[in-house]
């Protein structure tokens, strides 16, 4: 190893689409922080490690028990799925601070359940909320401006021309599966691609956005005490959106949900391009300090796309995990991006790297 392992951050999946951008962004912010680009094919990360300097590669196979092979780095950023929780459990049992940005809601809940039996000696940040927790942090920022929060609505505009890694398409495998949300103070099951809402996004594009499953809807009701939390998605291709709605509501999508049809499902919406802007609208409705009903609206735009914004989210959460954002790190245990975010630091990071965040009262 060319770097001091005990001082290094291991990026599992570090040569993937998101992992590579996260590594580059972390290096820009922290030139002296040793990085280890890890994965099953470490040779794929060698050029990146040379580019970053003070970096090395490591063979890490999350499909095998004890993938760390006994090394104990300063922290781990999981930018690749850990299907058997081998990496998660080894990190937890070794007392290594751990950040995961890959899990859909059910897998996140399973991880929290598995860790409940462990005596955690370091924080475990489960940060698979939209864009590695960016939307959740902005939601908390809005909640802090209200005396009482009634509802949070997150609406996403996803461009089919945007860059994307394979993990970003996995939510499509769950479009026939109901999921749990907080609705008027009660946990209820809803289906994807229902309960549409017409949204005008920052770039001027207007479309119907539909419910989809994100971990934000699991964590934000607890951290913000909102009675209702929703996440919706719209695509910048109305024909593709209409087709997806038809397939899910007709039951056809359920019929093609097995492994046999994975390539068919992915071909419909996973054809990543060279990049496009990623836009998020977050609205918070509640009661202000004067006792008046009020709705606040934040818009987040990253012209470099959703993978870049996810990498920024990873940086924000890594700095929170290690206390590099000006506040003490979280104590040992399970934490989420919305548990205790350093909002000013997070907003500054987003803006430093080119994302825009604007908050206004919602006139409509």
Q: Which pLDDT belongs to residue 273?
A: 61
Looking at residues 208-229, what average pLDDT do you find?
Answer: 96
- At residue 286, the pLDDT reads 97
pLDDT at 46 over 70: yes
Query: Out of 5-14, 63-72, 185-194, 247-256, which region has the weakest mean confidence (pLDDT)?
Result: 247-256
Q: What is the pLDDT of residue 294?
A: 96
DSSP 330-343: PPSEEE-TTTS--H
Q: Is the pLDDT of residue 169 over 60?
A: no
Where are the CATH 3.40.50.720 domain residues in the chain?
5-130+311-335
Q: Rounded mean pLDDT of 195-203?
A: 95
Distances (CA, A) of 51 to 5, 41, 77, 80, 273: 19, 18, 19, 21, 24
pLDDT at 245: 77
Query: What are the tens digits of pLDDT across the range 280-297?
Result: 999 999 999 999 999 999
Give the pLDDT of residue 215: 96
pLDDT digits (tens, 9 = 90+) for 305-345: 999 999 999 999 999 999 999 999 999 999 999 999 999 99
172 secondary structure, DSSP code: G
pLDDT at 159 over 90: no
Of residues 165 and 89, more confidently modeled = 89
pLDDT above 70 (res 41): yes
pLDDT of residue 163: 66
Cα–Cα dist 215/219, whole Å:
6
pLDDT at residue number 161: 76
- pLDDT surpasses 80 at 175: no
Distance of CA 122 to the CA centre of its chain: 21
Here the tokens at position 240 are 């593709």
Q: Where in the chain is the domain with CATH 3.30.360.10?
A: 133-305+343-361
pLDDT at residue 363, rounded to an integer: 45
Q: Could you tell me the fold of the domain covering 133-305+343-361?
A: Dihydrodipicolinate Reductase; domain 2 (3.30.360)
Which band of pLDDT confidence, cut at 50, 70 and 90, is reported for residue 134? very high
Q: Which residue has the higher pLDDT, 355 or 260?
A: 355
CA gap 315, 9 in Å, rounded: 12
- In this prediction, residue 364 carries a pLDDT of 43
Q: Give the mean model confidence (pLDDT) for residues 203-229.
A: 95
**Quick one: average pLDDT of 78-104?**
96
CA–CA dist 94, 69 (Å, integer): 11
d(C-alpha 87, C-alpha 76), whole Å: 9
What single DSSP character describes residue 347?
H
Alpha-carbon distance 134 to 337, whole Å? 8
Q: How high is the mean pLDDT of the chain? A: 91
Return the H-helix or E-strand segment holding 360: strand 356-361
CATH fit for domain 5-130+311-335, picks 3.40.50.360, 3.40.1280.10, 3.40.50.720, 3.20.20.70: 3.40.50.720
pLDDT recorded at residue 266: 61
At 171, the pLDDT band (50, 70, 90 cuts) reads: low
Helix (H) or strand (E) holding 307: helix 306-322
Higher-scoring residue by pLDDT: 317, 257: 317
The pLDDT of residue 259 is 66
pLDDT at residue 172 is higher than 80: no
Dihedral sign of CA atoms 137, 139, 144, 149 in order = negative
Q: What is the pLDDT of residue 258?
A: 63
d(CA 330, CA 340): 8
- Give the pLDDT of residue 240: 76
Percent of the chain with pLDDT over 70: 89
């Amino acid at each position: 190893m060319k770097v001091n392992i005990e001082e290094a951050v291991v990026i599992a999946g570090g040569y993937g689409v998101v992992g590579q951008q996260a590594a580059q962004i972390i290096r820009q912010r922290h030139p002296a922080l040793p990085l280890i680009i890890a994965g099953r094919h470490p040779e794929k990360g060698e050029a990146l490690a040379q580019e970053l300097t003070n970096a090395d590669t490591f063979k890490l196979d999350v499909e095998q028990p004890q993938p760390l092979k006994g090394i104990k780095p300063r922290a781990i950023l999981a930018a690749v799925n850990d299907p058997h929780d081998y990496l998660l459990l080894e990190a937890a049992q070794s007392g290594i601070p751990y950040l995961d940005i890959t899990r859909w809601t059910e897998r996140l809940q399973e991880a929290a359940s598995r860790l409940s039996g462990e005596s955690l000696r370091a924080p475990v940040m489960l940060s698979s909320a939209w864009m590695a927790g960016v939307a959740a942090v902005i939601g908390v920022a809005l909640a802090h401006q209200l005396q009482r929060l009634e509802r949070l609505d997150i609406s996403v505009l996803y461009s089919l021309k945007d860059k994307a890694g394979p993990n970003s398409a996995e939510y499509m495998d769950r479009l026939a599966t109901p999921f749990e949300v907080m609705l008027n103070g009660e946990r209820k099951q809803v289906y994807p691609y229902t309960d549409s809402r017409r949204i005008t996004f920052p770039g001027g594009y207007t479309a119907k956005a539909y419910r989809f499953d994100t971990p934000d809807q699991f964590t934000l009701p607890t951290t913000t005490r909102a009675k209702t939390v929703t996440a919706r998605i719209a695509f910048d291709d109305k024909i593709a959106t209409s087709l997806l709605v038809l397939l899910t509501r007709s039951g056809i999508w359920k019929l093609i949900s097995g492994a046999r049809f994975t390539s068919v499902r992915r071909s419909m919406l996973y054809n990543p391009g060279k990049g496009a802007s990623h836009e998020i609208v977050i609205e918070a409705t509640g009661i202000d300090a004067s006792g008046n009903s009020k709705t606040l609206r934040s818009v987040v735009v990253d012209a470099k796309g959703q993978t870049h914004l996810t990498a920024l989210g990873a940086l924000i959460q890594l700095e929170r995990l290690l206390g590099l954002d000006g506040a003490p790190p979280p104590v040992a245990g399970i934490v989420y991006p919305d548990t205790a975010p350093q909002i000013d630091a997070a907003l500054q990071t987003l803006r430093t790297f080119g994302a825009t965040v604007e908050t206004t009262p919602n006139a409509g």
